[in-house]
Structure 1
């Protein structure tokens, strides 16, 4: 078979494998935060992302060391693979949008943003949003490992900066799949539908674009970045992770166990007759401190490869800025409608939107 044809269908095959593993491997049923649109009951999710990640990576290495599939295969067919994922993402998005009634928005808006809020299949064993994030995360990890293998094959060693970048991205994936239940309480699940933005975004954009720093520098030699500077980049990444993970975990504990302290922080709230808002800890620093954490992590990843003069590496943190600033504005509007006067009181207490003392 032509290598380009095989490359085109490689993501289709990998996505099918991940889906089968997700469906058949053991998982935990977790009650989420979102309610069913018809019954009003809280949706349940079957989660096993970390196990799926481990098994998929194990299969990938066995295929590589068995000389069945080269370990750098995803690098070798990167462009045809991207084309295959692009088409797969569009086909999925059409399939999940077109058969369902309009939301009242324009056709293009429905196609991009979606019509179904929380689609689940196979008696709830597969939730569309969790499946999409699982596909994107696992495929991203396979790309990272494959590109790293290519760099080693080309130079006979791996630069410390590339090792650091790989470690950061791998930790990013592992962390997300280890705390799947926490993300059931994030903006995506209660405020977004499934269309091209989430569907194509997770199937084609997420697993290919997030490694842009590695993609742009994988064929460049070791930049000899000083060790102390690499340590600084690692600390910067951990700072961003602490803000993002800490904020999400504090929110999770507050939603599930309102009176429980988190990292020694006893919840401080404001409330009216029906609603309560958290106003201290991470959520006292800014109204979207987790967004700042995501941007800081992305910046550390861009810096770690040691080629700040390569403009492509900066697309990753710039993407987060472009994604999260409009999301913050939209989320503030949604909260203002939902919480009314309580939100105005909250804004007075927590003045900053994302960056404490600046914005």
Structure 2
């Protein structure tokens, strides 16, 4: 078979394998935060992302070890694979939008933003949003390993900066899939629908674009970045992770166990008698401190490869800025509508939107 045709359909095959693993491997049922739009019941989710990730990596390793597929196969067919994922993402997005009733907005708006809020299949065994994030995360990790293998085959060793970048991305993926239940309480699940933005975004954009720091430097020589500088880059990433993970965990415990202290921080709240808002800890630093964490993680990843002169590596943190600034504005509007006067009390107390003392 022509390598370009095989490359085009490679993501389709991998996505099918991940889906089968997700469906058949053991999982735990978790009650989420979002309610069913018709019954009002809290949605339940079957989660096994970490097990699917580990199993997928083991399959990749076995196939490479026995020479069924080259370890750097995903690098070799990267452009054809990207085209295949691009088309698959579009087809999925159209499939999950067009057959369903309009939201009242234009067709283009519905296709981009979606019509269904929280679609689930196979009696809830597969939740569309969790499946999309799982596909993107596992495919990203397989890309990281394959591109690293190509770099090793080319130079006979792996540049420390590239190794650090790969470790950060791997940690990012493993962390997300280890805390799946926490993310059921994030903006994506209670405020977004499934359309091109989320569907194509997870199937084509996430697993390819998040790789851009490695993709754009994998064929460059080791820049001999000093160890102390690599440590600084790792600390930037870890600082960002601490803010993002800490904020999400504090919110998760507040939603599920309102009186529980997190990292020794006892919840401080404001209320109007019906609704309650958390105003201390991570959520006392800024109203979207987790967004700052995401941007810092992206910055650490961009710096780690040791080629700041390569423009492409900066697209990763720039993307987070472009994504999260409008989301912050939309989320503030949504919260102002939901909480009314209480929201005004909150923003008077927590004055900064994302960056404490700056913005």
TM-score, normalisation: structure 1 = 1.00
What secondary structure, in the 3-state scheme, does the structure 1 residue paired with 2:31 have? Answer: strand
Once the two structures are TM-superposed, the CA of residue 207 in structure 1 deviates from its matched residue by 0.1
- 2:21 pairs with 1:14: no
CA distance in 2, matches of 1:42, 1:268: 26
Q: Note the 1:130-169 alignment, pairs <5 A.
A: 130-169=130-169
Once the two structures are TM-superposed, the CA of residue 171 in structure 1 deviates from its matched residue by 0.1
What secondary structure, in the 3-state scheme, does the structure 1 residue paired with 2:216 have? Answer: helix
Q: Note the 1:281-300 alignment, pairs <5 A.
A: 281-300=281-300
Structure 2 counterpart of 1:55: 55
CA distance in 2, matches of 1:280, 1:329: 21
Deviations 1:80-108 (A, max 9, x none): 00000000000000000000010001110
Once the two structures are TM-superposed, the CA of residue 193 in structure 1 deviates from its matched residue by 0.2
Question: Could you list the runs of 5+ residues in structure 1 that have no partner in the other structure?
Answer: none
CA distance in 2, matches of 1:78, 1:282: 39
Structure 2 counterpart of 1:206: 206
CA distance in 2, matches of 1:40, 1:245: 29
Q: Note the 1:97-246 alignment, pairs <5 A.
A: 97-246=97-246
Structure 1 counterpart of 2:25: 25
Once the two structures are TM-superposed, the CA of residue 295 in structure 1 deviates from its matched residue by 0.1
CA distance in 2, matches of 1:277, 1:267: 10
Moved over 4 A (4+): none
Deviations 1:308-333 (A, max 9, x none): 00000000000000000000000000
Count of matched residue positions in the alignment of Structure 1 and Structure 2: 359
CA distance in 2, matches of 1:194, 1:10: 24
Structure 1 counterpart of 2:313: 313
Once the two structures are TM-superposed, the CA of residue 273 in structure 1 deviates from its matched residue by 1.9
What secondary structure, in the 3-state scheme, does the structure 1 residue paired with 2:196 have? Answer: coil
What secondary structure, in the 3-state scheme, does the structure 2 residue paired with 1:197 have? Answer: helix
Structure 1 counterpart of 2:5: 5
Structure 1 counterpart of 2:269: 269
CA distance in 2, matches of 1:251, 1:200: 28
Once the two structures are TM-superposed, the CA of residue 272 in structure 1 deviates from its matched residue by 1.0
Question: Could you list the runs of 5+ residues in structure 2 that have no partner in the other structure?
Answer: none
CA distance in 2, matches of 1:334, 1:113: 16
Once the two structures are TM-superposed, the CA of residue 241 in structure 1 deviates from its matched residue by 0.2
CA distance in 1, matches of 2:12, 2:158: 30
What secondary structure, in the 3-state scheme, does the structure 2 residue paired with 1:29 have? Answer: strand
Deviations 1:135-189 (A, max 9, x none): 0000000000000000000000000000000000000000000000000000000
RMSD: 0.3
